[in-house]
Amino acid sequence: MKKNIIILGSTGSVGTNTLKIIDKDKKKFNVFVLSAHKNINKLLAQAKKFNCKNLIVTHQNSFQKLKKKAIKLNINIFDNFDILPNLLKKNKVFYSMISISGLDALKPSIILSKFSQNLAIVNKESLISAWHLINSSIKKNKVNFIPIDSEHYCIFNLLKNHTTRDIDKLYITASGGPFLNYSKKMYKRITPKIALMHPNWRMGKKISIDSSTMMNKVFEVIEAHNIFNIDYDKISILIHPSSYIHAIIKFKNGLIKIIAHDPDMKIPIHNSLYENKEFKFKTKSLDLKTLNHLNLNTVDINKFPVVKILKNLPKRNSLYETALITINDYLVQKFLEKKISFSELNYLIIKLSSLKIFTKFKTLRPNKIDKIYNLRKFVSMKINSLGI
């Protein structure tokens, strides 16, 4: 019997790569639900190729357009994730991949944690802002949770047969993005077009800009802290330009364990689907040149000032993380619209995240989805009122 698969955000890079893997083993998997925001042409092509009968489109105009296109195709078209519980009542889900960007992933993450045997999440925002809620649901429903970001998937593997109490120090790596070799004087020349040119990974606009400021690593440290219950003072970032090594753990017994793989998201996706068994994944030969020149270094705080935010984070999951995500989202959009410079982007992330009106949320727990969504609106409104 085929195993049901759900992919939310199927038209993005992670969703597309997940389908590429499934395409090689169609006899084993049934693609039950796919979703997109606006890219309806690609979504419809995916539905036809994988015979998927349930599509979710969250952008209203795009939803209406697709509804007309799919009228003769015997495909169900929905415009929000609230339909998922009804679709899944009689359909056990073997694997759900959530690769939607932004806080829009939060609600379906909670929903699918109740209906999935294996839950793979690559969405930073939900794991940062609402890990407390997601983790509670995962435990309650006995779901196998798998982090898909390469760093966290590697940590996940390194910790097999270990507990977090065994850790002396955890290191996650960062390529340094497109501006690793830029001086601060050169920051004046940085445009959105240049900032989107990541040297190692092909990603969406938002995460590419986060990589250029290294805000993505701030978020990944928060994710690691949440998912693995590791104190912030035990987590460090190392610059590693080739993105070959993704995580290093120094254990209290003196052993140091490292996981390396090519900068290809299909590797963690494949292994999360097959649990390191069965269906072999073809990769390149061992890269001895890179291993002999790892070029690991600590982060230059002057070049990547947003990393300083890590020193002031609350010890447990709070509503402040939602405020931090919203501040960054707001400012990245302003940079992409060329309304602020790259230097202003870095400066304003730090300045706004330290305002008392936002830091007061460090003491409040994210115990309801509505609180998180309402706070996002509040933070956006407050930033807008400052004239930014």
Which DSSP string do the residues of 247-264 spell out, in sequence order? EEEEETTS-EEEEE--S-
Q: What is the pLDDT of residue 231?
A: 95
- Does 379 have pLDDT greater than 80? yes
How far, in Å, CA of 321 to CA of 249, rounded?
A: 25
Question: Per residue in 156-181, pLDDT tens?
Answer: 999 999 999 999 999 999 998 888 88
Q: Are 201 and 267 within 8 A, CB to CB?
A: no
Question: Per residue in 73-128, pLDDT tens?
Answer: 889 999 999 999 999 987 889 999 999 988 899 999 999 999 999 999 999 999 99
> Which residue carries 């994944």 as its tokens?
281
Query: Which residue(s) pair with 97 in the sheet?
Result: 7, 120
How far, in Å, CA of 145 to CA of 374, rounded?
A: 27
How far, in Å, CA of 137 to CA of 150, rounded?
A: 24
- Beta-sheet pairing, 245-251 with 167-174: antiparallel
173 is written with which tokens? 């790596």
- Beta-sheet pairing, 144-147 with 245-251: unpaired
- Nearest 5 degrees, angle CA 67-CA 70-CA 71? 80
Conformational region of residue 57, where left means phi above 0, alpha means psi within -120 to 50, and beta covers everything else = beta
Amino acid code (one letter) for 88 = L
What three-state secondary structure class fits 176? Answer: coil
Task: Please give the model's pTM, rounded to 2 decimal places.
Answer: 0.92
How far, in Å, CA of 148 to CA of 121, rounded?
A: 6
Average pLDDT over residues 225-242: 96
Supply the mean pLDDT for the chain: 93
Q: What is the pLDDT of residue 277?
A: 63
Rg over CA atoms, the chain: 21
Which ranges of the chain does DSSP label H, i.e. alpha helix? 13-23, 40-50, 60-69, 84-88, 106-112, 124-129, 131-140, 150-158, 192-195, 205-213, 215-228, 266-274, 288-292, 320-336, 342-353, 356-359, 369-385
- Residues with Cβ < 8 Å from 375, sequence gap 6 or more? 319, 322, 323, 326, 361
Question: Per residue in 270-284, pLDDT tens?
Answer: 999 987 566 677 888
Q: What is the pLDDT of residue 312?
A: 93
What three-state secondary structure class fits 291? Answer: helix
Q: What is the pLDDT of residue 26?
A: 87
Domains present along the chain, CATH in parentheses: 3-147 (3.40.50.720), 149-308 (no CATH), 314-388 (1.10.1740)
Average pLDDT over residues 345-359: 97
Average pLDDT over residues 42-46: 96
Query: Which residue(s) pair with 302 in the sheet?
Result: none
Average pLDDT over residues 319-338: 96
